[in-house]
Amino acid sequence: MTRGVISRYLSTLIFLYLVLGKSIYAAQANNSIDGIRVWPAPENTRLVFDLKKTPDYSYFSLSNPQRLVIDFQATQNLVNLQALAKNDKRITTIRTSKAKNKTSTRLVLELRDKYNLNVFPLAPAGQYGNRLVIDLFDQDRVTQSVQTAKKNDKRDIVVAIVAGHGGEDPGSIGAKGTYEKHVTLNIAKKLAALIDKQKGLKSAMIRTGDYYVNHNRKTTLARKHKADLLISIHADAFTSSKPHGASVLVQSTRRANSEFTRWIANRQKESELLGGAGDTIKKTKDKNLAITLADMKKEYTMASSYEFAEHVISQLKKVTKLHKKKPEGLSLAVLKSSDIPSVLIETGFISNPREEKNLNSSAHQQKLANAIFNSVDNYFANNAPDGTYYASVSYKKHKVSRGESLSVVAHRYNVTVGKLKAVNNLNSNVVRIGQTLKIPRAD
């Protein structure tokens, strides 16, 4: 055998070894990491690994320096890890390391500090396939500072605003590719700006960026901000493009009663969820008294939620079509709080082409925010909590005399005609002699 023949023979063997070796590896590593997404949030960072099949994994932590090591069994990594964590304050680097065997993948997260971990797989749902989720929570879980009013000051009414979905949860997606999570955050920011501009009101944004906050955490954060009202903003969707219009949802009686039963059973632990009477509910040995007090609080919160929802509907119908003309009760986790009146506002159908276009419009988003703000202003003008600025400046009343028009009354009290109409739920500029108008605070 000549040297040239031997050389060609060896080259062929090497080629076959490489091809067969890769084929054997691919057959043994029957799963793959197809994508990695990093979602930084104020209190935590979420990593989502997208896999071809259900993940077979294990993990452990190392210190000095802090690292989290994840082993994916029989899995190959198809993702470029470089720069994945460049915008995150908790992870410095995501890299590979030597795995236990050739068919597995070991990933190492180099961390800036020690964090509380939550690791769990997710089955395919919607547009997503199999996933492994890793949450890194700050140990102190510091929230935005909550300003406490001085003893003799009239406090602000706090409105918690939840922008639906976020991060790896885009919510509904329109035909033109509009993500619900972006629409809801834009409306929420516009609403917060209006609320913070109004003396006596203060917003508490539960989500300020593109990240996910779980339902239980939403109500926990609202409570930490001492919220008087919780508004969750969403955009509806359906399998057909025909449905359209906004709607307002409140907690169903069945879900509220179910939560109530759980709270009573755990009243020693969860009395803070029962509002001002919580301490009495926790300490009393009289179970019947505890149930009575808690039930009164629950009924008050549900009634307040429904009343506010009616205010929202009366304002929304001025700027958009309605899908439901009355508040609808559904079982929704974000509305389960017994001590905070809560509503969920579906601002329109993102699955409807015309409404998808509107929901993408900054001008339409502002109209929706204005309508919701007017609802907040009107509701608390008549239902201001004790000790608040709103409670100290209740509306003046004016009886319309002969020769007076809406514009004349507005000029007299230095308010706009639009605000006068909003406060009194007027659809036109027509007023009648003897009609009593509520006069809002001057602009």
The pLDDT of residue 440: 75
Q: Note whether 374 and 409 are same-domain residues.
A: no
Q: Does residue 15 lie in a domain region?
A: no
368 shares its domain with 406: no
* Nearest Cα to Cα of residue 374 among 424, 301, 411: 424
Compute the distance between CA of residue 33 and CA of residue 50 in angstroms, rounded to an integer: 6
Question: What digits encode the pLDDT tens for the residues 323-336?
Answer: 999 998 876 666 66
DSSP H helical segments within 317-423, as ranges?
Answer: 353-360, 362-382, 389-392, 406-412, 417-423
Q: Are residues 300 and 409 in the same domain?
A: no
Helix (H, G, I), strand (E, B) or coil at 76: strand
Cα distances (Å, whole numbers) of residue 158 to 200, 205, 221, 278, 411: 9, 10, 12, 20, 30
355 and 225 in one domain?
A: yes
**pLDDT tens for residues 160-185?**
999 999 998 899 999 999 999 999 99
Query: Residue 13 falls within a domain, yes or no?
Result: no
pTM for the full predicted model: 0.70
Question: What are the structure tokens assigned to 436, written together?
Answer: 């009593």
Task: Say yes or no to pLDDT of 276 above 80.
Answer: no
Nearest Cα residue to 287 out of 256, 264, 259: 264
- Between CA 240 and CA 360 the distance in angstroms is 19
Rounded to whole angstroms, the Cα distance separating 76 from 386 reads 61
| Sequence-ordered strand ranges (E) for 194-302 | 201-205, 229-236, 247-251
For 299-332, b/e burial (b = at least 16 CB within 10 A) is eebbebbbebbbbbbbbbeebbeebeeebebeeb
Answer yes or no: is 131 within a domain: yes
Q: What domain range is 103 assigned to? A: 27-137
Q: Is residue 326 in a domain?
A: yes
How far apart are the C-alpha atoms of 240 and 238, rounded to whole Å?
Answer: 5
pLDDT tier for residue 150 given thresholds of 50, 70 and 90: very low
Residues 108 and 210 both lie in one domain:
no
Q: At what angle do helices 253-265 and 287-316 cross, to 10 degrees?
A: 150
Looking at the structure, tell me whether residues 124 and 269 fall in a common domain.
no
Whether residue 174 sits in one domain with residue 106? no
- 288-317 mean pLDDT: 77
pLDDT band at 288 (very low <50, low <70, confident <90, very high): low
β-pairing, 201-205 vs 247-251, is unpaired
Residue 134 has pLDDT above 60, yes or no: yes
User: Based on the structure, what is the number of domains in the chain?
Assistant: 3
Give the pLDDT mean for 355-362.
96
- Does 163 fall in a domain? yes
101 in a structural domain: yes
Whether 333 and 400 share a structural domain: no
Helices vs. strands in the chain: H and E counts, helices first: 12, 17
Strand order in the sheet with 247-251: 201-205, 157-163, 229-236, 342-349, 247-251, 328-330
Q: Is residue 208 located within the same domain as residue 108?
A: no
Q: Does any domain span residue 114?
A: yes
Identify the domain boundary among 389, 405, 423.
Answer: 389
Residues 223 and 370 occupy one common structural domain: yes
Q: At residue 26, does pLDDT exceed 50?
A: no
CB hemisphere CA count around 4 (13 angstroms): 0
Cα 405 to Cα 378, 433, 439, distances in angstroms: 22, 9, 14
End-of-domain residue from the set 351, 372, 389? 389
CATH number at residue 339: 3.40.630.40
Give a yes or no: residue 411 inside a domain: yes
Is 128's pLDDT higher than 60?
Answer: yes
When mean pLDDT is compared over 61-70, 120-129, 287-296, the highest value belongs to 61-70
The pLDDT score that the predictor gives to residue 20 is 47
The side-by-side arrangement of strands in the sheet containing 116-122 is: 75-77, 31-40, 44-51, 130-137, 116-122
- Which CATH number is 410's domain given? 3.10.350.10
Q: Within this chain, do residues 118 and 252 fall inside the same structural domain, yes or no? A: no
Q: How far apart are CA 59 and CA 306, in angstroms?
A: 47
With cut-offs at 50, 70 and 90, classify the pLDDT of residue 254: low
Residue 295 pLDDT: 54
For residue 385, the one-letter residue type is P
Q: Are residues 182 and 267 in the same domain?
A: yes
Percentage of the chain modeled with pLDDT above 90: 50
